[in-house]
Amino acid sequence: MDIVIREPVKLNIESEIFREIADIDEIPVFKPYMADIFYKSKIIADIKSPIDQSKIAGFFKPDKESVKLAIENIHSKGKTQVRNLPGEKRIEIIQKIADLMEVFADDFVDVLVKNTGKTYSSARGEVEGSIDRLRRAHLDLKRMQGDFVPGDWDEHTLESEAIIKREPYGVVLAIVPFNYPLFDVVNKFVYSFLSGNAVIVKPASANPIASFCFSFIALKAGVPENALAIIPLSGKESGVLVEDSRINVISFTGSSKTGKEVIKKAGIKQLVMELGGGDPAFVLEDADIEISASKIATGITSFSGQRCDAIKIVLVENSIYDHVKERIINELSKIKVGDPRENTDIGPLIDERTAILFEKAVEDALNKGGKILVGGSRWRNYVEPTLVEIDDMETMKTTMMFQEEIFAPIALIVAFGNLDYAIKTVNERKYGLDAAIFGKDINKIRKLVRLLDVGAIYINEYPRHGIGYYPFGGRKESGIGREGIGYSIEYVTAIKTIVYNYKGKGIWEYM
Ligand code: NAP
């Protein structure tokens, strides 16, 4: 692989946003907002760029006492501050955050490129998606409404009635992964805050800068001072948050392995778990081959395959297999990997450890008779878009790529003749996030839609959760609950039933 990194990575820190939330010497050292102050300490943790592994910033690392204090502030003051804000005011604050994100959009883009390794277009996509999510908060509101239940149909409830309402749980802990360090913060914040909760964000250790910047604009927009905290602990240290009984809801996005640890530690709390995936794509014999191949190539490689909804297995009907394979190879060969600040299509993986795992997965597939059709190599944490052909489904099931989620631009391709068998095979995977179907035969599509054990199916499109306009979420080890505009309200609010009894008062009228 030929990767050239011409210039060292340096954050563009001219803007006001950085002066307010960081001490700036040679590099900025960020002060996490901890529910009442921009926090400073003696211990500084490094933040690196995945582009060249250089240190681009630092942050003041919170100690145990400050974490305890932040939780206490959120619990004893912040949650009441949010609950006492009228809903109309909460939505106004959310709209103001969107306005400010527009003002500081270039700073957010710069941070996402340099701290996450996204290309400029992909970083801008994440910033615009975040603004879009904020702007669409009013679509969540309907789900805050409740029910009226008349007691008329049971002798024990005659002459009574109930109102079933939703109210905020109190404190939501949002644990976010590295791959959408801004959007995941925004999305979890919107549905939690809108429904009246205070929010603690635990960013990924690799790239917390976007969440630091978010706290600055959230406060400027009017989020009450004790109602938000960004607590940049490492995963290992996060038990102190996960186990705390003052936290009522955990909204977690990350790998299935970490998700299981969080579930074990959480105790009795409300959970939304958006976990690992990697999706299958079925190509039926009447599919438009050019369009399908192009969409599948994007589905495999967008943001270097570091997406839960990335395509990882391509299953093609026998009669068109060679043609589809040739077109996907052609599409993948065109994708340029390199420094995302240059004119490239995809940048690096988040770290070298993941790139080594990519190599292992390739080697494992080759040992099992697989053949590299395109790609296969790596340089540091940069890897090529890769397609590996596997002869049959039984062998496929034994591969690392089938059994694990390889967070890189890589997929398996396999031919099938029997649709039922292909469905059965895919359902044996431990993940069940999404699937894609390319084709026209309504009977086959209907069968796939009915039988696939997944949370979402995209027909003639590659899986893309986007801003959650359509709800998404997994089955099996891919998760519990759904994210998506409106739908997540269900997980951050509790149902309260209020029964009004009028028995014997002589005022009752049947409905
Ligand atoms: P990860 O390693 O599981 O980390 C996710 C978050 O959990 C990070 O903030 C991490 O902190 C934290 N964490 C780690 N160990 C923890 C623990 N014991 N207790 C509490 N928190 C802990 O995942 P990732 O590599 O950042 O993200 C990629 C994964 O996210 C993939 O599996 C992907 O499929 C999944 N994902 C799923 C969806 C979906 O909608 N289903 C969307 C996006 C991503 P540290 O960074 O400090 O380790």
CA of 176 to the centre of ligand 1 (A): 6
CA of 142 to the centre of ligand 1 (A): 30
CA of 263 to the centre of ligand 1 (A): 13
Q: 103 Cβ partners below 8 Å, 6+ apart?
A: none
The atom of ligand 1 lying closest to the CA of 255 is 32
Q: In this structure, is residue 375 part of a structural domain?
A: yes
Quick one: 216 and 347 in the same domain?
Answer: no
Q: In this structure, is residue 242 part of a structural domain?
A: yes
Quick one: 235 and 301 in the same domain?
Answer: no
Probe residue for ligand 1, chosen from 133, 176, 231, 255 as the CB with the greatest number of ligand atoms within 8 Å: 255
Q: In this structure, is residue 381 part of a structural domain?
A: yes
Ligand 1 is surrounded, with C-beta below 6 A, by 175-179, 202, 204-206, 234-235, 238, 242, 253-255, 258, 261-262, 274-277, 308, 405, 407, 433, 472, 474, 479
Note the pLDDT tens digit of each residue in 80-107.
999 999 999 999 999 999 999 999 999 9
For 261-276, the DSSP string reads HHHHHH-S-EEEEE--
The atom of ligand 1 lying closest to the CA of 465 is 40
Quick one: 232 and 283 in the same domain?
Answer: no
Nearest CA to ligand 1 atom 41: 274
Neighbours of 316 (CB within 10 A): 28
The atom of ligand 1 lying closest to the CA of 308 is 34
Quick one: 267 and 314 in the same domain?
Answer: no
CA of 307 to the centre of ligand 1 (A): 12
Last residue of a domain, one of 227, 248, 275: 275
CA of 5 to the centre of ligand 1 (A): 28
Q: In this structure, is residue 489 part of a structural domain?
A: no
Distance of alpha carbon 65 from alpha carbon 61, whole angstroms: 12
Angle at the Cα of 263 (from 258 to 266), degrees rounded to 5?
120
Nearest CA to ligand 1 atom 16: 235
Assign 53 to helix, strand or coil: coil
CA of 329 to the centre of ligand 1 (A): 31
Distance of alpha carbon 274 from alpha carbon 264, whole angstroms: 16
Confidence band of 509 (pLDDT split at 50, 70, 90): confident
Q: In this structure, is residue 160 part of a structural domain?
A: yes
For 104-160, the DSSP string reads THHHHHHHHHHHH---HHHHHHHHHHHHHHHHGGGGGGGGG--EEEE-TTSTTTTTE
Nearest CA to ligand 1 atom 40: 274
Last residue of a domain, one of 236, 253, 275: 275
pLDDT at residue 445 is higher than 90: yes
DSSP label of 342: S
Average pLDDT value over all residues in the chain: 97
Helix (H) or strand (E) holding 218: helix 209-221
Asked whether 199 and 188 are in contact (CB, 8 A), the reply is yes
Distance of alpha carbon 370 from alpha carbon 363, whole angstroms: 9
Q: Find the mean pLDDT for residues 19-30.
A: 94
pLDDT at residue 511 is higher than 90: no
Q: Would you give the end-to-end CA distance of the chain in angstroms?
A: 74
Query: CATH no. for residue 356?
Result: 3.40.309.10
Q: Find the mean pLDDT for residues 179-205.
A: 98
pLDDT of residue 510: 73
DSSP label of 75: I
The atom of ligand 1 lying closest to the CA of 277 is 34
Q: In this structure, is residue 104 part of a structural domain?
A: yes
Query: Could you tell me what percent of the chain has a pLDDT over 90?
Result: 98
Assign 222 to helix, strand or coil: coil
Query: CATH no. for residue 40?
Result: 3.40.605.10
- Counting the structural domains of the chain, the total is 2
Whether 274 sits among the annotated catalytic residues: the reply is yes
Quick one: 263 and 354 in the same domain?
Answer: no
Distance of alpha carbon 228 from alpha carbon 230, whole angstroms: 7
Neighbours of 502 (CB within 10 A): 14
Which residue's entry shows tokens 């191949």?
A: 293
Quick one: 158 and 132 in the same domain?
Answer: yes
Probe residue for ligand 1, chosen from 242, 258, 431, 483 as the CB with the greatest number of ligand atoms within 8 Å: 258
Quick one: 226 and 294 in the same domain?
Answer: no
The atom of ligand 1 lying closest to the CA of 262 is 19
Residue 476 exposed, middle or buried by CB count within 10 Å (0-12, 13-18, 19+):
middle
Confidence band of 298 (pLDDT split at 50, 70, 90): very high
Quick one: 320 and 397 in the same domain?
Answer: yes
Last residue of a domain, one of 253, 275, 297: 275
Quick one: 366 and 224 in the same domain?
Answer: no
Confidence band of 469 (pLDDT split at 50, 70, 90): very high
Distance of alpha carbon 503 from alpha carbon 454, whole angstroms: 48
Asked whether 226 and 131 are in contact (CB, 8 A), the reply is no
Nearest CA to ligand 1 atom 6: 177
Note the pLDDT tens digit of each residue in 101-127.
999 999 999 999 999 999 999 999 999
Q: Find the mean pLDDT for residues 124-153.
A: 96
* Structure tokens belonging to residue 196: 């009246």
Q: In this structure, is residue 155 part of a structural domain?
A: yes
* Structure tokens belonging to residue 229: 């905290």
User: Which of these is catalytic: 213, 308, 389, 483?
Assistant: 308
CA of 64 to the centre of ligand 1 (A): 22
**147-150 and 160-168 beta bridge pairing:** antiparallel
pLDDT at residue 2 is higher than 90: no
pLDDT of residue 507: 86
Note the pLDDT tens digit of each residue in 332-386.
999 999 999 999 999 999 999 999 999 999 999 999 999 999 999 999 999 999 9
The atom of ligand 1 lying closest to the CA of 257 is 3
Quick one: 68 and 149 in the same domain?
Answer: yes
Note the pLDDT tens digit of each residue in 259-290.
999 999 999 999 999 999 999 999 999 999 99
The residue type at 495: I
The atom of ligand 1 lying closest to the CA of 350 is 25
Q: In this structure, is residue 53 part of a structural domain?
A: yes
Quick one: 222 and 366 in the same domain?
Answer: no
Distance of alpha carbon 477 from alpha carbon 68, whole angstroms: 32
Strand order in 55-60's β-sheet?
22-24, 28-30, 55-60, 44-48
Nearest CA to ligand 1 atom 48: 235
**431-432 and 475-476 beta bridge pairing:** antiparallel
Give pTM, 2 decimals: 0.98
What b/e string do you get for 375-389 counting C-beta neighbours within 10 Å, with b at 16 or more? Answer: bbebebbbbbbbbbb
Q: Find the mean pLDDT for residues 4-28.
A: 94
Q: For the chain, what is the radius of gyration of the CA atoms?
A: 24
Nearest CA to ligand 1 atom 43: 308
Which residue's entry shows tokens 């989020």?
A: 223
CA of 235 to the centre of ligand 1 (A): 8
* Structure tokens belonging to residue 353: 């450890």
User: Which of these is catalytic: 274, 317, 384, 477?
Assistant: 274
Neighbours of 352 (CB within 10 A): 15
The residue type at 47: I
pLDDT of residue 1: 85
Distance of alpha carbon 231 from alpha carbon 202, whole angstroms: 5
Quick one: 166 and 213 in the same domain?
Answer: yes
Whether 213 sits among the annotated catalytic residues: the reply is no
Asked whether 149 and 164 are in contact (CB, 8 A), the reply is yes
> If we measure between CA atoms, which residue out of 142, 160, 147 comes closest to residue 497?
147
Q: Which domain holds residue 59?
A: 16-275
